Amino acid sequence: MRFRLAVALSLLVAWLAPAPLLAALSDTQQAWLAQAERHEKAGWIYLHVQGPARVRGFQHGYLLAPEINAELQVRRVSWHYQSALEWDRLAEQAATLFTAKIDAENLEELDGIAEGLQAHGVKATRADVIVLNGWIELTGYWWPQEVKKIKAGSVQTPRQSCSSFIATGSLTADHGIVLAHNSMSTYEEADANVIIDLAPEKGHRILMQCWPGWIHSGTDFFVTDAGLVGSETTIGEFDGFDASGVPEFARMRRATQDAGSIEQWCEIMKQGNNGGYANAWLLGDVNSGEIARLELGLKHVAFEKKKDGCFLGSNVAEDLKLLRFETSTKETDIRLSAIARRVRWQQLMAQYAGKIDVKLAKRFEADHFDCYLGKVNPGSRTLCGHFELDAAPAGPWPGVPFGPCGTFDAKVVDTKMAKQMSLAARWGSACGLAFDAKKFLASHPQFGWLKDILKSRPSQPWVEFRAGEKR
């Protein structure tokens, strides 16, 4: 009760306080912003940034300042509720863990984001921005290891989230690559509605989805002008983190900006691997038609590549050593979301072999067939996940009935689109089902702590985005 009152009072003070005064921009800063672009479309924010790292960061921080500020508030409340610790301790820990291991260009971009926020009147430091970028690693990998030192017994493992496939050759209608992905998250944190068009001075241009204030993706769906496309799905029920390694967010950004091939991308990701945000990466090269899967645990790494067939992602490790030694997943328990979604992917690939295209990929991402029940039943086990509708979810995440979490986006790209630096995306549930936060909390008062940070999401249509588009 005391916690809820404190949160409510802090938010009330924020709402009643005068709007922050914008600092007078210098001529140089105004010139930086003139090169950038922000507009909104079907629930998404499209952001174009370009130039040196500090300039890109400033453009990002300034133009997304309201969204980054709101995200910081949500994460502060979430962190305190989950850990009973203050934000400042997390920020100090993030700076200690990560700063010295972040390469100079990434660090300069993070500084630019903080500078842009401050110019917009948002009180935020480099450490705050590092927390945002390392959020998944900190809360899902580092913190569970810390809890083990304090508390005996089982510790919550990283969430099982995201569904993805990549197909090529005889499986697709035009024999090119088709890649699709949707993200799952707790709904209070489902604010990753940014499509960023990033044009650096050096390296490859990137079109990707990201959270506000993040220099990498986090939701991990990208296209580069090297002809690479990629997505990821978290390796579920994973246990492991090396605090001496390089943060995943820094490696992912370097790989995506610097790599000209699938092999180069994977090599960069493996250098300094810390086990944080352990993922199965689904990658494609639209110039060669090759696709690959990189499963990056902490102790075990698996890589496969092919020109015909598919790779699937549903939070189950496919490499047997990684599955057995670094996860606790029961890969035959179809009651679990990850296993049911894995089976559904296999069914869809077999049923539509030779016909898969962008239109079908959109349908797949919105699929509500529950392989455990053997019928259409939107819930925790479906590719388009709706844990909020499930009275009896199985598995460690979210671990409670009617958990307010599930799918909050969908993205698709094929060879033709990737060569034009474009992608299709849908904000909100992949199926288009709206989420009403007020009605949900009225029906499920056990989640009352979310009342100030849980947002509704209306149904949105599919739209396309392209690098360099204007308002």
Percent of the chain with pLDDT over 70: 93
| Cβ neighbour number for residue 203 with a 10 Å cutoff | 19
pLDDT digits (tens, 9 = 90+) for 220-279: 999 999 999 999 999 999 989 999 999 999 999 999 999 999 999 999 999 999 999 999
The arrangement of secondary structure in 25-41+51-150, i.e. its CATH architecture, is Orthogonal Bundle (1.10)
Residues 364, 181 contacting (CB under 8 angstroms): no
Take residue 351 and report the two structure tokens written for it.
């049923």
Helix pair angle (126-133, 65-83), 10° resolution: 70
Structure confidence at residue 23 (pLDDT)? 66
Per-residue pLDDT band for 153 (boundaries 50, 70, 90) equals: low
Structure confidence at residue 115 (pLDDT)? 98
Is it the case that residue 7 has pLDDT exceeding 90? no
Q: Tell me whether domains 25-41+51-150 and 163-466 share a fold.
A: no
3-state class percentages of the chain: helix first, strand second, coil last, to nearest 5: 40, 25, 35
DSSP sequence for 64-96? THHHHHHHHHHHHHHHHHHHS--HHHHHHHHHH
Query: Rounded to whole angstroms, how far apart are CA atoms 409 and 27?
Result: 38
Is it the case that residue 2 has pLDDT exceeding 60? no
Structure confidence at residue 305 (pLDDT)? 98
Is it the case that residue 131 has pLDDT exceeding 80? yes
223 or 396: which carries more pLDDT confidence? Answer: 223
Residues 242, 293 contacting (CB under 8 angstroms): no
Query: Rounded to whole angstroms, how far apart are CA atoms 401 and 67?
Result: 30
Structure confidence at residue 17 (pLDDT)? 40
Residues 183, 408 contacting (CB under 8 angstroms): yes
CA 146 to chain centroid, in Å, comes to 23
Per-residue pLDDT band for 154 (boundaries 50, 70, 90) equals: low
Average pLDDT over residues 57-85: 96
Is it the case that residue 392 has pLDDT exceeding 70? yes
Average pLDDT over residues 201-228: 97
Take residue 257 and report the two structure tokens written for it.
């900006």
Structure confidence at residue 5 (pLDDT)? 39
Is it the case that residue 448 has pLDDT exceeding 90? yes
Residues 284, 229 contacting (CB under 8 angstroms): yes
First to last CA, the chain: 46
Give the phi and the psi of residue 236 in degrees, each rounded to 5.
-75, 155
Is it the case that residue 157 has pLDDT exceeding 70? no
Structure confidence at residue 12 (pLDDT)? 40
pLDDT digits (tens, 9 = 90+) for 279-310: 999 999 999 999 999 999 999 999 999 999 99
Residues 126, 110 contacting (CB under 8 angstroms): yes
pLDDT digits (tens, 9 = 90+) for 27-47: 999 999 999 999 999 999 999
Helix pair angle (104-119, 65-83), 10° resolution: 110
Structure confidence at residue 149 (pLDDT)? 83
Structure confidence at residue 156 (pLDDT)? 58
Is it the case that residue 4 has pLDDT exceeding 60? no
Is it the case that residue 444 has pLDDT exceeding 80? yes
pLDDT digits (tens, 9 = 90+) for 172-195: 999 999 999 999 999 999 987 999
Per-residue pLDDT band for 18 (boundaries 50, 70, 90) equals: very low
Structure confidence at residue 130 (pLDDT)? 98
Query: Rounded to whole angstroms, how far apart are CA atoms 131 and 47?
Result: 21
Does the domain spanning 163-466 belong to CATH 3.30.2350.10?
no
SS3 218: coil
Give bridge partners of residue 50 from the DSSP assignment: 199
pLDDT digits (tens, 9 = 90+) for 405-436: 999 999 999 999 999 999 999 999 999 999 99
**Residues whose CB is less than 8 angstroms from the CB of residue 463 and which lie 6 or more positions away in sequence, other chains included:** 41, 42, 44, 424, 425, 426
Segments making up each domain of the chain, as ranges: 25-41+51-150, 163-466
294 or 399: which carries more pLDDT confidence? Answer: 294
Structure confidence at residue 227 (pLDDT)? 98
